Structure 1
């Protein structure tokens, strides 16, 4: 999946989540499911396209 496609999926899922929360509440099973799906998309984007700027130092 290209970066553009992934960003489009993230935006679509975010809009869906907003609608679900407005209809069913923040803690509804549907809202939790959509939130988890959005998290997976965001994690995928971060792992593929965001460079790690912070490296923790081992003591």
Structure 2
């Protein structure tokens, strides 16, 4: 995956997360799902481009 493509996906997911949290509250199932998806994208970025990932999965 191209670095800029992954950064774009991260930015899009972060915007979705913020919008959903504003509309539904921080503990809604949609917000939690988006947060988990963002975590996954950030972990992928770290794994591919920084060479490390947190081991708390």
| 2:50 is equivalent to residue 33 of structure 1 | no
Gaps of 5+ in 1: 53-59
Q: Which ranges of 4 or more aligned residues in structure 1 deviate by more than 6 Å? A: none
Structure 2 CA distance for aligned equivalents of residues 18 and 44 of structure 1: 20
Q: Give the deviation of 1:2 after TM superposition.
A: 0.6
The offset of 1:51, in angstroms, is 4.0
Structure whose residues are more often helix by fraction? 2
**Structure 1 length-normalised TM:** 0.84
CA RMSD in angstroms, aligned pairs only:
0.9
Aligned length: 52
> Which 5+ residue runs of structure 2 have no aligned equivalent?
53-57
Shift in Å at residue 10 of structure 1? 0.1
What TM-score do the two structures reach when normalised by structure 2? 0.87
1:46 matches 2:20: no
Structure 1 or 2, whichever has the larger Rg, is: 1
